[in-house]
Structure 1
Amino acid sequence: MSAPAAPTATWSSAAVTGDGTTLGSRSRRRWRAARWLVGGVAAMLLAVVALALLRPAGSLVAYDPENTRPDGSQALAHVLERQGVEIEHVTHVADAVEAAAAGTTLLVVPAPYMLPEQVTALSAVDADVVLAGADDGLLRAATGDQVQRSSWASAPPSATEPGCDLPAAVAAGPSMLEAGLEATSPAVTTCWSSPDGSAVLAAVEQGGRQVVAVDDPAFLRNDDVLTEGNAALALHLLGRQDRLVWLVPDPADSTVAGDQTAEPEPEAVLPAWFGAALWWAVLVALVVAVWRGRRLGRLVTERLPVVVPSAESARGRARLYRRARSRGHAAAGLRASTAQAVAHRLGLARSAHPDAVVDAVVRASGRDPHEVADLIYGPPPADDAALSELARRLDTLESEVHRP
């Protein structure tokens, strides 16, 4: 009959580090602490990916001919293309100026962030120009100061007749667009004028080209193009020529005619007070640096008011362990101290594997390897009596180990 198998040692899986933890327990604790952060980051990444995949194929920019949303203009663009109008969609002023040759219509949708150089370049094109919701600067420049924005805009309570002989307005008929344009010259044709003198549309003939300004750009939108005569007005204004340049300006665009990479001068895009504010911020930063710097100096050593002996510190920590009933941490500290002491005596490194420590102690003391392993790497004691017994046995083991 064969002899029973020796019990398998269980101490080789991890080493005591002094606080009762192992590599595995540390990893699990760190994972428990970080899993919510990792989960949150993963959820954010999944949300970004989902938004990227679910994003509509068309544009999201207002008045864009590829935008299918209510504020887009894809419906009008498709109808114009079916009527044979070639549409060139651009987002840079330089591209629009280059493409807007004679025999072409240039449409400029609302653009509140144009530079003065861009306004001048757009006003000098040879193409017919349609301005939808333009600001006062572009209106004045494109019409030669003959049209300006009124002090206030008003929407008619009901659809009104155009009251002019412009073909596009006559074809559109009654309209409910807002009126906010004011003519400063009798050469300007105004349509859908309100009692206060403001008009919805103003047209000017300049050097063989026509400049038409419409105060309310809603006639271009998908959700309003079928309201009253908006569709007829848009098709007549934008379909006069076989080619339409549709400019939807990029807010970050700074290009002008003939220069695709021109950068605006800093003073052209920064407010007038920016320079003074910048120098004031630099001065405040210097004052703060000097003020804080005066508080710094070389390190000064001071005598402690009370000197605490190491024995009292040890007893204080022991009382804290006892109050918290943290026998595992107390036992781990004792075992780690013994393991470090015997390893040092036997010439082992602090990072030595537990098996190597046990083998060296067995050779030095002659004890049973399972007994040594249970003393240094065993389970935590169950009560205070077991903790006291463990401390006594560790002290005895340490006294038995001498340098080889």
Structure 2
Amino acid sequence: MHNEVKKIEGDDIDENVLSVADLLKTIWQGRRTLLVITLLTVAAGLAGRMLFSEYKSEGFFQFGGTIPMVKKTADKDKDKEKEPSPGIKLADYKRYAAAFKSNERFTDFLVQHKLEQSPSTNALRRSFASREGISKWIDPVFPFTKLDAKELLEDPKDGNNNVIGLRISYDDKDPKVAQSIVGLLGRYTQDTIVYIIYSDILRFKHVEMTAKITALDNEIIENNERLAHFRRSGDDLKKIVTRYPDAAGQASRQVVSISDETARYLPPVTQLMTTEVLASEAMEKIHKARREQQQNILLREYYDKAKTLVDNTKSGEDILRGLEPVKTEVFKDKNMEDDTVKEVFNQITIDNQTAISLYLEKSRFIAGPSLPENLSLRLSVTVLFSLFIGLMLSFAVIFGRKSLQEN
């Protein structure tokens, strides 16, 4: 029995040796087929790489400060406490992204800059119209990632984790086209953000200025009424002092002044002086309100013309660069020697220059767009993959042919 088991095991070993030998013999007999098919497959893979593989350009577009631009008040210490973090809040970025990812917005941008007939932008427009859109090409960059939170053992605060930039990439058969498209996408996204910000601001500033002018008008009316009351009180007190000339120097002879909570005993001269001080304060408030009202009237005129500019363009950059000519037109017939007028003129100039610096100069590519030198699919990967496919096809042909011959 033991000898029979050994014999059976020996027969299995011989069959395995023979089967491996048969396989190698079959492969050797079909070596020409193996060589031809493998070489053809590798050649086809290299040709496909040259025809279908593309060059990938990348760039990093940074936001140069807090977006939207924040106006600072005169209180410097208060500004330091409440100064917002640079970048765009996530909620605002999602709103801007919904705009620059739309096909309609991109079409308006191309028409505005006369780029709709460019061959490279035609392929880009088809990508905008696709289901995936341009999400695969534009990624927001945060200063604080989940990995950072894990390493530092703390969660990022919303105010400190704004979108500080965009990582933009694009693939194309021509490396120069890929590079230009990355630059175009950076310019387009920033242009859209500026357009959304200023279209919102300029469209509603007219209503805001009108409301402020009306509120200041009511404030002037109220202070005029208070001023008239103080003047009437002053006239009455002057009559009292004239009627009793010795009362001013006698502390025992005093007029009673009664309020809802307390009763005070003040000399008429003291009351007269208090009334004149209150009347002076009312006059100062009226002067301040009238000055602010005059400035708001100028601002309303400026924002009205700026709104017309927004209605006639679809480009954020054109809006920014067009605000200075609008300002010049508004103030060309104004008295620039008047400090009230000049203050408004200077404030508009500062805002425009700051906006151009923030949106068009500081917000820029700090890395790229790169000019790719190599195809996105590596040569070694292509060769190895094609070689593997070629070998599999060769084995299938060789053994398939042998099987047909045996049958």
Q: Which has the higher contact order (CA 8 A, sep 6+)?
A: 2
Give the TM-score band, short-chain normalised: under 0.3
The structure having more radius of gyration, on CA atoms, is 1
TM-score normalised by L of structure 1: 0.16
Larger helix share, 1 or 2: 2
TM-score normalised by L of structure 2: 0.16
